[in-house]
Structure 1
Amino acid sequence: MARLPRLTIPGQPHYVVQRGNNLQAIFVDGQDYASMKDLLREMGRRFGIEIHAFILLPNQVHLLLTPQTAQSLPQFMQSVGRTYVRTFNNRHGRSGTLWEGRYRATVLEAQAWLLPAMVVLEHQAVVHGLIGRAVDYGWSSARHNAGAQVDGMVRLHPAYWRLGDTPFAREAAYATMLDRGASTDLQEVVLGAALKGWVLGSEGFIEGLKSGTERRLQRQKAGRPARAQGEKAE
């Protein structure tokens, strides 16, 4: 089956995954991780990308971001990918591809899905057995979003601000969500949508997107995730 064309909707959050070829390592040491983070920061500013959450795993990168224009995301990912491969190959005396083809991404409805998607993303270090608590992983946005440190690359989404009336309240609420983690079902929904390109959102949200594209947006109905994941009731 032919792959769907990638969908980029300016002003809407996207969950993006870029993996190593055959899931091989894309980071060998701390300098590699730092190089990738520097690139994300630089290219994000250059191409109009707001990064709300990120995690750098040994063989993949996950990003939760909002592009300003229809070209922001593809230009950002192309520039990050090409520059990082050149730097990585030069450092480690190798040649050839590093990535598993093109990046994968899904658009998601912020009100219902942004916070659950953040938890899924930042919890990946725990899922992959790299750390016991997500907030202790150094190469992600978890410490920033949980209030443990400040990371100037991360931009808080309005959906995050609804967690509380003060920075402390928001950080504490999110830290609790992060410690609870994400259920296996929620991970499968979010990561499956990102890898397959299906939009995550309510029927009304998806219908609103259909007017701007002829691309198929969903395989089956997508709804609001269970509030048990820690999100406040509206």
Structure 2
Amino acid sequence: MPRQARLDYPGAYHHVMGRGIDGHHIFKEKSDKKDFLARVKKLTEKSSMQIHAWCLMSNHYHLLYQTGETGLACFMRQLLTGFAISYNKRHRRQGHLFQNRYKSIIVEEDEYFLPLLRYIHLNPVKAKFISLEKLKYYPWCGHHEIFFEGKESVIKREDVLSFFGLTKQKAMIAYVDYLKEGIGKDEGHLTGGGLIRSSGGWNEVIRRGGEEREVGDERVLGSGDFVTNVLQQCEQADVMSNEFQSIEEMVQKIEKYYDLEQGLLRELKTKKYREARSVFLYAAVKRMGLTVKQAGVELKIKDSSASAGVQKGMMIEKKKRVLSRIRKQ
């Protein structure tokens, strides 16, 4: 069964999850976690998107992401590609770091925003890694930033606390009480979408058997009306993502678009390959989040040549809209 396109539109809330390949660790050291968070921080500052909750565990991560001018696909592409390259270099390894595609579920704000925020921030507690009382001192979870906001914080504390009270003191108390209520709750349904999870389980679906059938979608956690509205907004915004998920996929699609022999884009510098290589350099830096140096390494060229190639690729894209055409292939 072909994978479904991602859903996204300005203002959408996403529960984003990703794991290490074969369950392996993706955060072995503090430096890995610091690198990941620094990249999140940098990307959020470059656009109007927001992170409302987050948690880094040894082999997976959770983000509660709200789309702004920058779409989810672009944000995650730059975040994960840049982090994987840096991680592999730091740990002297090769190959894929993450297991398949990251998972993203659009969630209905009124019904699921607060439960999801709680679920994400309680991850270390429910994994019996740390107690709720000590969680505020655990630096790899957004809960820490609610108590100790700093210049490196990913979350805007006042935005989160605004859901709990008018004053900071009352909001903090209400927030902690809300987390305490979730300690014994099974909230596994918040990791996916679809009719069953959105309805509260099979028993609730069966109970509603005689009622009008609701619309469901595995990419959405919310009511039938919300699912319908999401699909309509995505269709109108034309942002059902089908962009590159990896460097390898990008190379293959560029080679296919230019009718080049597969696997030679990185190797050949002949006239036939020049435009395709420039488009690759531009896309690698501007769309995938690589540095100019990293993009140059991919094509085995010097930094100065890579920089010139990015500029050429930008001019080609403006004139021919190559990447837009590739996405429609």
Q: TM tier, shorter chain?
A: 0.7 to 0.9
1:9/1:107 contact within 8 Å kept: no
Deviation at 1:47, TM superposition (A): 4.1
Deviation at 1:182, TM superposition (A): 5.0
1:48/1:72 contact within 8 Å kept: no
* Greater alpha carbon shift after TM alignment, 101-110 vs 148-157: 148-157
The equivalent residue for 1:206 is 227
Deviation at 1:9, TM superposition (A): 2.2
Residue 136 (structure 2) pairs with residue 115 (structure 1): no
Give the letter aligned to residue 210 of structure 1. Answer: L
Distance 1:28 1:162, change over 3 A: closer
TM-score (norm 2): 0.59
* Greater alpha carbon shift after TM alignment, 93-102 vs 3-12: 3-12
Q: Hey, what's the Cα distance between the residues in 2 that align with 1:106 and 1:157?
A: 25
Q: Hey, what's the Cα distance between the residues in 2 that align with 1:49 and 1:173?
A: 26
Distance 1:182 1:30, change over 3 A: same
Q: Hey, what's the Cα distance between the residues in 2 that align with 1:3 and 1:20?
A: 20
1:114/1:159 contact within 8 Å kept: no
The equivalent residue for 1:52 is 52
Q: Hey, what's the Cα distance between the residues in 2 that align with 1:142 and 1:64?
A: 13
1:40/1:80 contact within 8 Å kept: yes
Give the letter aligned to residue 154 of structure 2. Answer: M
* Unmatched runs of 5 consecutive residues or more in structure 2: 195-216, 236-329
1:116/1:182 contact within 8 Å kept: no
Q: Hey, what's the Cα distance between the residues in 1 that align with 2:8 and 2:120?
A: 19
The equivalent residue for 2:78 is 79
Give the letter aligned to residue 207 of structure 1. Answer: T
Per-residue CA distance 1:171-208 (angstroms, 9 max, x = gap): 1111111223255542x2101339x9431223332232
Q: Which has the larger radius of gyration?
A: 2
Deviation at 1:20, TM superposition (A): 0.7
Deviation at 1:67, TM superposition (A): 1.1
Q: Hey, what's the Cα distance between the residues in 1 that align with 2:88 and 2:163?
A: 43
1:11/1:66 contact within 8 Å kept: yes
The equivalent residue for 2:142 is 141
Residue 64 (structure 2) pairs with residue 43 (structure 1): no
Q: Hey, what's the Cα distance between the residues in 1 that align with 2:66 and 2:35?
A: 22
The equivalent residue for 2:298 is none
Deviation at 1:157, TM superposition (A): 8.0
Q: Which 4+ residue blocks in structure 1 deviate beyond 4 angstroms?
A: 156-160
Per-residue CA distance 1:109-131 (angstroms, 9 max, x = gap): 11221110000011111222321
Q: Hey, what's the Cα distance between the residues in 2 that align with 1:57 and 1:96?
A: 21
Q: Hey, what's the Cα distance between the residues in 1 that align with 2:16 and 2:122?
A: 15
Q: Hey, what's the Cα distance between the residues in 1 that align with 2:184 and 2:31?
A: 33
Cα RMSD for the two superposed structures: 2.2
The equivalent residue for 2:25 is 25
Q: How does 1:93-104 map to 2 (within 5 A)?
A: 93-104=92-103
2:9/2:71 contact within 8 Å kept: no
Deviation at 1:36, TM superposition (A): 0.7
Deviation at 1:144, TM superposition (A): 2.4
The aligned length equals 209
Residue 190 (structure 2) pairs with residue 169 (structure 1): no
* Unmatched runs of 5 consecutive residues or more in structure 1: 215-234
Per-residue CA distance 1:88-139 (angstroms, 9 max, x = gap): 1111111111001211111111122111000001111122232122434320
Higher relative contact order (CA 8 A, sep 6+): 1
Give the letter aligned to residue 180 of structure 2. Answer: D
Higher normalized helix content (fraction of residues): 2
Percent of aligned pairs with the same amino acid = 25
The equivalent residue for 2:256 is none
The equivalent residue for 2:156 is 155
Q: Hey, what's the Cα distance between the residues in 2 that align with 1:150 and 1:183?
A: 28
TM-score (norm 1): 0.81
2:33/2:56 contact within 8 Å kept: yes
